Amino acid sequence: MAAGRGVAARLFPPLRRSGTHGDGTGAPRFVDNGGMDTDPRRLLPKVDVLLGHPSLVDRAATWGQGPVLGAARRALDESRRAAAGGAPVPGVDELAARVAGELDAMAARRTRAVLNATGVVLHTNLGRAPLSPAALAAVAEAAGYANVEYDLAAGTRGRRGAAAEALLREATGAEAALAVNNAAGALLLALGGLARGREVVVSRGELIEIGGEFRLPQIMEAAGVELVEVGTTNRTHLRDYLGALGERTALVLAVHPSNYRVEGFATRPALGELAALAREHGLPLLHDVGSGLLAGELGAEPSVTGSLRAGADLVLFSGDKLLGGPQAGLLVGRAELVGRLARHPIARAVRADKLTLAALEATLAAHVAGRRDELPVWRALLLGPEDLRPRAAALAAAVGPAASLREGISVAGGGSLPGEGLPSVLVEVDPAPLGDAAVLARLRAGDPPVVARAEHGHVVLDLRTVPPERDEQVAHALLAALRPGGQQAPPRTPPGPGGQ
């Protein structure tokens, strides 16, 4: 028997443990008596071999060695775990493709310029208001050292935002003004600075939710105020407010429903009536108008100057909507209230940075000088079908038989002019045989990316939100997206009016 076992042992040598895995993972590896390594993970390439792949060498020149090395190690670690579970071991080309894909996906998520062909002027997902050339120049100038909090005349420390606030006072006629980082921050500051620990009265029909499921009651809770709801969703009367006022009331809040509209059997008191009621009880009225229409009329949109004239003590609005500037939260109104807010600790937490202030100053200067039409938002809003038709026709001609024109509607977007459309002329494209989703994806993957929309199986482009000098780029991108291989090619004909 012993001899038999010896023969079997010589013919079928058992596997034996040989320390830990050489890749540093601590996993055991097995070798046979002839020294042959049978662990499939040993077939994975070393890191330096993977980094030497041409596609990763190219990306290292752009990203630097560190990010590429990190992505390579993650790909190898994932492959080791998968191989331990019996999955096939990928080759160098496949691993390099995975690493390159991770880096390219990261690059796609970086903030970059896009061409907005959706017709949504204040597209929140695309950054709302595009800045004017003057605002861009101001940002570039302020990007280095700048007199953000330095008084050049006195040679001493100055006050942040002083110039923007002076322009706000000039543009609105308000006693005082304050600029912070965004409208939600301004509301948080106003509520926390004037009503913390006390009650704020607001109509149920104005308990808005903005993008990202960000709700007014949540802001009020974060500010430490107690919400007192009055009225109903569709009807709130002055007597509802009157019945809710008491010793613990600190503030009356009116909110313009900027991203929806209640129609039919609906009512709410005029702002002037609400202001008179608040004044009678010694309470400030804060009006959140949202979109930032400084003056004049635009549909049913309330203006900042109109709210102040109606008796609002504080008016709150955004900088990147109808104002046409950078993201900012702006407060104007009574000097005593604005002063209290400027000194509040929350003001330091939500203050605007130097680039925002520079762009805001340039934008406000255009309004004060009566040059609102220099702002891209207002140029887009004021375009009519007669302006858009020649450009749309030129784009359709460049694309060919797949494209046609039709009447359509653009929208202001960004919580402005809810329910109101802007007559437009659209370019409608038949995406066959690829399909609308594939063509839209190709447009987004281009350089520059073009964002369009789909309607009833067609790709639709609205040039209202495309600068005229970029029409030719849209034509090139659309032709490439429609071509089966996706290669770039010149348009059939020059894009005509608006193109260069």
DSSP state string for 180-247: ES-HHHHHHHHHHHHHTTSEEEEEGGG--EETTTEEHHHHHHHHT-EEEEES-SSB--HHHHHHH--T
Say yes or no to pLDDT of 57 above 60: yes
Tokens of 370: 């009566």
Q: Convert the pLDDT of each residue in 153-170 to its tens digit.
A: 999 999 999 999 999 999
Closest by CA position to 291, among listed 268, 314, 324, 338: 324
Q: Convert the pLDDT of each residue in 378-420 to its tens digit.
A: 999 999 999 999 999 999 999 999 999 999 999 988 767 666 7
> Quick one: pLDDT at residue 452?
97
CA distance to 183, 257, 411, 474, per residue, from 210 (Å): 11, 10, 17, 31
Query: What average pLDDT does this structure show over 442-447?
Result: 93
> Quick one: pLDDT at residue 194?
97
Q: Tell me the sheet residues that pair with 200.
A: 227, 251
Please, which pLDDT band fits residue 259 given cuts at 50, 70 and 90? low
Say yes or no to pLDDT of 112 above 70: yes
Say yes or no to pLDDT of 2 above 60: no
| Residue 437, C-beta contacts closer than 8 angstroms, at least 6 positions apart | 454
If one counts every other C-beta atom within 10 angstroms of the C-beta of residue 371, the result is: 13
| Residue 479, C-beta contacts closer than 8 angstroms, at least 6 positions apart | 398, 399, 488, 489, 490, 491, 492
Q: Find where tokens 């400084």 sit.
A: 294
> Quick one: pLDDT at residue 33?
43
Q: Convert the pLDDT of each residue in 182-223 to its tens digit.
A: 999 999 999 999 999 999 999 998 888 776 667 888 889 999
Q: Convert the pLDDT of each residue in 11-49 to its tens digit.
A: 334 433 333 344 444 443 444 444 455 688 888 999 999
Going by their DSSP bridges, the two strands 115-116 and 199-203 should be labelled as unpaired
Say yes or no to pLDDT of 313 above 70: yes
Q: Is 490 left (phi over 0), alpha (psi -120 to 50) or beta?
A: beta
Q: Which domains are present in the chain?
A: 2-108 (no CATH), 115-124+378-482 (3.90.1150.180), 131-372 (3.40.640.10)
> Quick one: pLDDT at residue 380?
96
Dihedral in degrees, nearest 10, Cα atoms 338, 339, 340, 343: 120
Helical spans, DSSP H, in 39-195: 47-51, 54-63, 65-84, 92-108, 133-142, 162-172, 183-195
- Single-letter amino acid code for the residue at 296: G
Please, which pLDDT band fits residue 346 given cuts at 50, 70 and 90? very high
Say yes or no to pLDDT of 96 above 60: yes
Query: What average pLDDT does this structure show over 236-251?
Result: 95
Say yes or no to pLDDT of 256 above 70: yes
Q: Convert the pLDDT of each residue in 120-146 to its tens digit.
A: 999 999 999 999 999 999 999 999 999
First CA to last CA distance, the chain = 95
More confident residue, 291 or 465: 465
- Single-letter amino acid code for the residue at 138: A
> Quick one: pLDDT at residue 143?
97
Dihedral in degrees, nearest 10, Cα atoms 426, 427, 428, 432: -160
> Quick one: pLDDT at residue 4?
43
- Burial class of 220 by CB neighbour count within 10 A (0 to 12, 13 to 18, 19+): buried
Helical spans, DSSP H, in 369-401: 376-381, 385-399
Q: Which of 14-23, 109-118, 323-332, 480-489 has the highest mean predicted lDDT (pLDDT)? A: 323-332
> Quick one: pLDDT at residue 45?
92
> Quick one: pLDDT at residue 465?
97
Query: What average pLDDT does this structure show over 436-450?
Result: 94
Determine contact, residues 179/161, Cβ cutoff 8 Å: yes
CA distance to 7, 162, 305, 306, 334, per residue, from 175 (Å): 104, 14, 12, 15, 6
Residue 36: φ, ψ to 5°: -75, 125
Q: What is the mean pLDDT of the chain?
A: 88
Say yes or no to pLDDT of 284 above 50: yes
Tokens of 224: 């430490």
Task: Give this prediction's pTM.
Answer: 0.82
